[in-house]
Chain A
Amino acid sequence: MATVSLKKLTKRYGPLEIVHGIDLEVADREFIALVGPSGCGKSTTLRMIAGLEEISGGAVEIGGKVVNDLPPRSRNISMVFQSYALYPHMTVRENMGFSLKIAGRSQDEIAKRVDEAAAILDLNHLLERRPSQLSGGQRQRVAMGRAIVRDPDVFLFDEPLSNLDAKLRTQMRTEIKKLHAKVKSTVVYVTHDQVEAMTLSDRIVIMRDGYIEQVGTPDEVFKRPATRFVAGFIGSPPMNLREAIVTDGKLAFPNGTKLPLPRQFRDRVAAGDKVVFGLRPDDAYPTGHGLHSGEETDVHALELPVTVTEPLGNETLVFADFDGADLVARMLNPRPLKSGDKVNMSFDLSQAHLFSAETGRTLRA
């Protein structure tokens, strides 16, 4: 088991820089997720850790040793690919035992370790099949089995669940979590799905355009997003974000709507500052129907016309017109609402976020 650290890690293709000198420390046995939109450099970073992509600048250390110029096979890592990359001409058993065979282990040892890994993943009855005879979920498990058999220092996952359908994805997510509890190794997990990142990892690294936006526990990145981008990326449905200007104790929105300046930001902004106001759908709700109804400390209510509602069973998403554009609110204990109805919307401003319109960084202390 080992730590992974990235030091000013940079990737360039010719004049084009993809990853801009990022720093990251992954602790031993930590499950860390790299998340971000496509093209943010997360996969490239993972591939540099794996040794599949040349490092243009900086360093990758595994277990405290610089591995920049080591080929993948000397890094003692294993990787689960998005496409699974199972060898089609080998059976499941051969696929899982391939790395041990290459390492020159004895037949007995290979058989024993493959059987062990197969037992963990419930693959025993599939060992003699070929990948083409397996379902998507089974292939996924074989790919993980192949990774476990090596007993590596670090597991790398490259969007391992994105080829599965929604139901299977949820199921495999749980399996990966169980697996990590069992094998307790360092994991670097790349995904574009923030739900996967939130549910699985100890810490999340949010990347954009080759930079790290924020590193933190799921709770931190959700409750205290460091930037406007993180605020919009994490959480579903996404946070409502609106540009506004601070005017003597109020936030003035472009079309004239006004909200009181949330208390926690009173000392952080000055009149005339351009800011981005953010409020999660959880913190906006038809009065009396909210997630935290009754616990609020800084509530402001407005009459807003409903544009559309999306019932989800236990709750309903209410889209209401706020200063000329839709604002999403979450309503518990649903009550019938039609498009065009006026609704008294409560804003829990104690939970509101403000970001600098200029830099996008949070204005929180």
Chain B
Amino acid sequence: MKNWKLSAPFLLLLPSFIVLAAVVIVPLLLSFYSSFTPFRLTKPESFFVFIGLRNYINILSDWNFWVAFGRTVLLLTIALNLEMLLGLGLALLVEKASRGQRILRTIMMFPMMFSPILVGFQFKFMFNDNIGLVNNALQALGITNNAIPWLIDGTLAFIAILTAEIWSSTSVFAILILAGLLAMPREPVEAARVDGCTPWQTFRYVTWPFLMPFAYIAMTIRSLDVARAYDIVKIMTDGGPAGRTELIWTLVARTGYSDARMGVANAMAYFSILLSILFTVYFFRKLAAARTQIGAEW
């Protein structure tokens, strides 16, 4: 009896462990090993040549890598912050709406269900310099006469990608923060208003602390899947023009598949994994902290 009870959760989790070990852990160990070899897909024998840290040293001294890495962190930082802010705004707007909340909420979920590859395609279409909606609209409104090269100029392309990324992921924040707003008890807000708080103060000191765990769930969920930006970039610019929108993920794909330098690509991939893990663990901890903070009052 006692033994059975101890092992029940283990047995229940066993299938998950097996699948994850087979598909994620073991392959990752393999790629970890291969990051110490000069492995090329075209030369299988190179898999068994051990070159120590040379791949890592090469990467660390490679300016292109650092630019891509920095651009990735920049993109994520800007995107996550703006998504949170816009999501909060959107949630507040919808919460204030007196009618049609259900339909508004459904529309709000819209972008979440778009495949990132579709998001990329949509925005590639809309930002097309010749026939895109954005340029057409700008020209029709008389703001400019030129065809703005959205996806060709490095900075503009970064903005276009950022727009696509934010469009597709703001709803995660909006939906979860809205859930928080709807779950929030009325009394503290009313008490704050009676106590003489301005709307801003009420929001700052009462509403926001309550919403924080919800914002962090959204952050955690998002950070689980930050690499979906790869799909968007892949289809919009594929890292181009001339590497000016290269993110760490597109660089990995190019090095691994186009250049067939698997060993180096795997070493780079480890940086991208590390980046994802850092983001996730950070928000996961924030979530736990925020949870215990408001947990006391619930």
Residue ranges of A at the interface with B (Cβ–Cβ < 8 Å): 54, 69
Contacts and interface: CB of A to CB of B under 8 A. Distances in A.
Interface of B: 1-2, 5
A303 B1 CA distance: 67
4 contacts: A54-B1, A54-B2, A54-B5, A69-B1
Contacts of A69: 1
A54 B1 CA distance: 10
A54 B2 CA distance: 9
Nearest to B2: A54
- Secondary structure type dominating chain B contacts: helix
A71 to B, nearest CB: 9
Nearest to A68: B1
A286 to B, nearest CB: 43
A74 to B, nearest CB: 13
Q: Which 3 A-B pairs have the closest CB atoms?
A: A69-B1, A54-B5, A54-B2
Nearest to B1: A69
A256 to B, nearest CB: 44
A241 to B, nearest CB: 33
B139 to A, nearest CB: 59
Contacts of B1: 54, 69
A231 B2 CA distance: 41
Contacts of A54: 1-2, 5
Nearest to A71: B1
Nearest to B5: A54
A69 B2 CA distance: 10
Contacts of B2: 54
A139 B17 CA distance: 42
A69 B1 CA distance: 8
A6 B139 CA distance: 87
B155 to A, nearest CB: 57
Contacts of B5: 54
B126 to A, nearest CB: 47
B1 to A, nearest CB: 6
A11 to B, nearest CB: 14
A192 to B, nearest CB: 22
A52 to B, nearest CB: 13
A54 B6 CA distance: 12
A218 to B, nearest CB: 38
Nearest to A69: B1
A213 B5 CA distance: 33
A172 B191 CA distance: 36
B258 to A, nearest CB: 55
A202 B114 CA distance: 67
A69 B5 CA distance: 13
B70 to A, nearest CB: 49
